Amino acid sequence: MADNAVETKNNGGKSAAPNKKLRFFGLGKLRPYVRNYKGVFVLMIVANLFVGVCNTIVPLFQRYAIDNFILEGTLDGMPIFAVVYVVMIAAMGIVDFFGTYSCSRLEMFLLRDMRRTAFNHLQTLSVSYFNQNSVGKLHSRVMSDTSVISSTVAWDVYQVSWSLTYAIGASTVMFVLNPILACCVLVVVPIVVLVSLYFQRKLTKLHREVREINSEITGGFNEGITGAQTSKTLAVENRLDADFRKHTDKMKKRSQRLGHHRALFFSIIAFTASIALALVLWYGGVITQSGLIMIGTLSVFMTYAQGIVDPIQWGVECLADLISIKVNIERFTALTETVSDVKDSPEVIEKYGDAFNQKRENWEPLGGDVEFENVTFKYPDGDEYILENFNLKVPQGTNVAIVGETGAGKSTLVNLVCRFFEPTEGRILIDGRDVRERSVSWLHTNIGYVLQTPHLFSGTIRENLLYGKEDATDEELDAAVKSVNAEGIIARLEKGYDTVVGEGGNSLSTGEKQLLSFARAILVDPAIFVLDEATSSIDTLTEKLIQDAIEKLMEGRTSFVIAHRLSTIRSADIILVVDDGKIVERGTHEELLAKRGLYYNLYVKQFREESYSNEFSDNSR
């Protein structure tokens, strides 16, 4: 069986519109996934057909036994009959086992491949896609939708194939034995179909409502846990409890209504089956008395009358399920067919590889010269241009600082340098070449990026640091940690580098996580450093320790620093001042102060705030 996930287009930014021409309930979109497991799929279908035929034949054995052994009062031929019957039942059991096993395997294979494809595809998408789609929405696509699709495709196809085989086989046998008695049984089929269709729509709607309310309950539960400290400090436990009660009461009412409709549905189906059985007993008794059929034949019809309703009902339910997953398929394929805002050309991929198959032997060393050449840019979901015909040369080793009020749009330049977004017009050159002439992976491998909010992956400190360089030695880890004065973190922990940091690194303080993020970025030995307000979450004392280390590490490297404290970027080679998403001033610290513009106002304002804060601290001692 194929182990690899199904290949998809290299997609990313905007979601592809759901395909309105999906056929066969949208199952055609799943053909690439099922194709990998044709053997399993065929085995499942063939096994079901065999079991369905055997289930149809079993009542004929019953008929033969009644007419030839019971009514005749003899056991002649019984051993042969018993052997044949036992062999058939054993064969049916064995084949049913393989059919069920194949169905289960198909479900797991489809689930694995779809989730792997979706997850891998998410790694190729641009930052704008994640800005426009919530975590909950993406989690639902990757986890919930794939689970529904794989389960429905495997088990409902399994159930439908058996139901159709049994229904067709039983109907054929009944018409061969006695057409009129067959009509007495099958007259209830249209009723079963109509009732099933009606209730299936109702039940599907109620199931969706229950799932939506359950999502609200899950969200409220998560907020109650993750926001426990906030809720306690605000003393709003009663409000949270009231909201949670409201959701759970709503869930109870919808679930009761769902249970009511389900009970009514099964009661009507059971009553309909009783009607079929009553008709068979009435008319079958009459013609048996007349000698037109034998008792064994009547028993066959009684068995079919009791058994044919269930496969019809299940078949309708399965078909309804297959129709309903069209929405799940459209949501899933909208993710996997999303076209990226940032992607490498086929020629670049051929030479440099992609994110999953990197051809590092073809990667040129990166020096660090960065140039914006007539760059015009607006965000994919925005209407206003942030940059227009912007030009800037940043020679290797230059320290560029970007400052501005909170929310002014300071990250735009950094996002373009890191190729998280593509310029709307113009070019960005790295070492004199258009950045699009080389791969995204090549660029990102040469950039050390430290975010304002540090993120550590679940696992040990060692594993987190090795994300920067997989083959780093202990000596290199020690050097990186010491370079940012983080060796004290490792020393105080009993297991050192092998300490588990917990989900998101929650066993460490924010400052400790930030220091380790610095160490991870330094371990890459990047040609370009990007610090996105990276010291804003570190206390003043720790910031002073790390600032000296950063200045040494930036020597000879190009760096872009989004500054939180203006006092830390006075030595920058060039300072860009951003206001309302646009660069309004540029120059050195002294030049900008002399202009007495926005930078001057920001600096004076922050200087006064820091002076007042220090004075307040001194007076409070």
pLDDT tens-digit profile of 110-120? 999 999 999 98
- Percent of the chain scoring above 90 in pLDDT: 21
Which segment of 50-64, 69-83, 360-374, 551-565 scores lowest on mean pLDDT?
A: 551-565
Nearest alpha carbon to residue 157 among 247, 27, 70 = 27
- DSSP E strands, 424-566: 425-430, 433-434, 447-450, 528-532, 558-562
The whole-angstrom separation of Cα 335 and Cα 118 is: 7
pLDDT score at 97 = 94
Band the pLDDT of 340: cuts 50, 70, 90.
confident
Mapped onto helix, strand or coil, the DSSP state of residue 597 is coil
290 membership: H or E segment, kind and range: none
Find the mean pLDDT for residues 199-215.
75
Is the pLDDT at 517 greater than 50, yes or no? yes
69-82 in b/e form (b: 16+ CB < 10 A) is beeeeeeeeeeebe
The whole-angstrom separation of Cα 516 and Cα 513 is: 5
* Contact assessment for residue 399 and residue 554, using Cβ atoms and an 8 Å cutoff: yes
Find the mean pLDDT for residues 248-272.
83
Mapped onto helix, strand or coil, the DSSP state of residue 564 is coil
Is the pLDDT at 5 greater than 70, yes or no? no
Give the tokens for residue 260.
Answer: 């009511």
pLDDT tens-digit profile of 528-537? 988 887 666 6
Find the mean pLDDT for residues 65-90.
89
**CA dihedral over 153, 156, 158, 164, signed as positive or negative:** negative
The whole-angstrom separation of Cα 186 and Cα 195 is: 15
Which segment of 155-169, 344-358, 509-523 scores lowest on mean pLDDT?
A: 509-523
pLDDT tens-digit profile of 442-478? 998 888 888 777 788 888 989 989 887 888 888 999 9
* Contact assessment for residue 558 and residue 528, using Cβ atoms and an 8 Å cutoff: yes
Find the mean pLDDT for residues 73-77.
84
The whole-angstrom separation of Cα 616 and Cα 620 is: 6
Find the mean pLDDT for residues 351-365.
89
Residue scoring higher pLDDT (316 or 529):
529
The whole-angstrom separation of Cα 395 and Cα 108 is: 53
Is the pLDDT at 505 greater than 50, yes or no? yes
The whole-angstrom separation of Cα 189 and Cα 196 is: 10
Is the pLDDT at 283 greater than 70, yes or no? yes
| Alpha carbon separation from 455 to 410, 428, 496 (Å, rounded) | 20, 28, 19
253-281 in b/e form (b: 16+ CB < 10 A) is ebeeebeeeeeebeebbeebbeebbebbb
Nearest alpha carbon to residue 603 among 620, 587, 582 = 587
Determine the number of helices (DSSP H) and then strands (DSSP E) in the chain: 23, 10
* Contact assessment for residue 314 and residue 193, using Cβ atoms and an 8 Å cutoff: no
The whole-angstrom separation of Cα 359 and Cα 438 is: 11
Find the mean pLDDT for residues 56-61.
92
Residue type at 378 in one-letter notation: K
Residue scoring higher pLDDT (42 or 607):
42
The whole-angstrom separation of Cα 562 and Cα 526 is: 18
Find the mean pLDDT for residues 14-39.
66
pLDDT score at 86 = 94
Residue type at 419 in one-letter notation: R
The whole-angstrom separation of Cα 462 and Cα 458 is: 11
Write down the mean pLDDT value for the chain.
82
Band the pLDDT of 90: cuts 50, 70, 90.
very high
Band the pLDDT of 615: cuts 50, 70, 90.
very low
Find the mean pLDDT for residues 302-320.
79
The whole-angstrom separation of Cα 522 and Cα 516 is: 10
pLDDT tens-digit profile of 376-429? 988 877 778 888 888 889 999 999 999 887 767 788 888 899 998 999 999 999
pLDDT score at 431 = 93
pLDDT tens-digit profile of 488-504? 888 888 888 899 887 77
The whole-angstrom separation of Cα 384 and Cα 409 is: 12
Give the tokens for residue 280.
Answer: 């068979």
Is the pLDDT at 486 greater than 70, yes or no? yes
Is the pLDDT at 616 greater than 60, yes or no? no
pLDDT tens-digit profile of 428-445? 999 999 999 999 989 988
pLDDT score at 270 = 78
Cα angle 312, 313, 317 (rounded to 5 degrees) comes to 115
pLDDT score at 21 = 41
Which segment of 9-23, 60-74, 160-174 scores lowest on mean pLDDT?
A: 9-23
Is the pLDDT at 611 greater than 60, yes or no? no
pLDDT score at 537 = 60
The whole-angstrom separation of Cα 387 and Cα 522 is: 30
pLDDT score at 574 = 92
Sheet holding 558-562, edge to edge: 447-450, 528-532, 558-562, 399-403, 574-579, 582-587
Find the mean pLDDT for residues 558-578.
85
User: Bridge partners of 531?
Assistant: 450, 561
The whole-angstrom separation of Cα 268 and Cα 40 is: 37
Residue scoring higher pLDDT (244 or 418):
418
Is the pLDDT at 22 greater than 50, yes or no? no
Is the pLDDT at 573 greater than 80, yes or no? yes
Band the pLDDT of 9: cuts 50, 70, 90.
very low
* Contact assessment for residue 71 and residue 296, using Cβ atoms and an 8 Å cutoff: yes
pLDDT score at 357 = 87
Burial label for 588, CB within 10 Å (0-12, 13-18, 19+), is middle
Is the pLDDT at 345 greater than 50, yes or no? yes
Is the pLDDT at 226 greater than 70, yes or no? no
Is the pLDDT at 231 greater than 80, yes or no? no
pLDDT score at 85 = 92
Which segment of 8-12, 36-40, 182-186, 543-547 scores lowest on mean pLDDT?
A: 8-12
Name every residue whose Cβ is closer than 8 Å to that of residue 178 and which is 6 or more positions away in sequence: 287, 292, 293, 297, 301
pLDDT score at 617 = 47
pLDDT score at 539 = 67
DSSP string spanning 315-328?
HHHHHHHHHHHHHH
> How far separated are the first and last CA of the chain, in Å rounded?
72
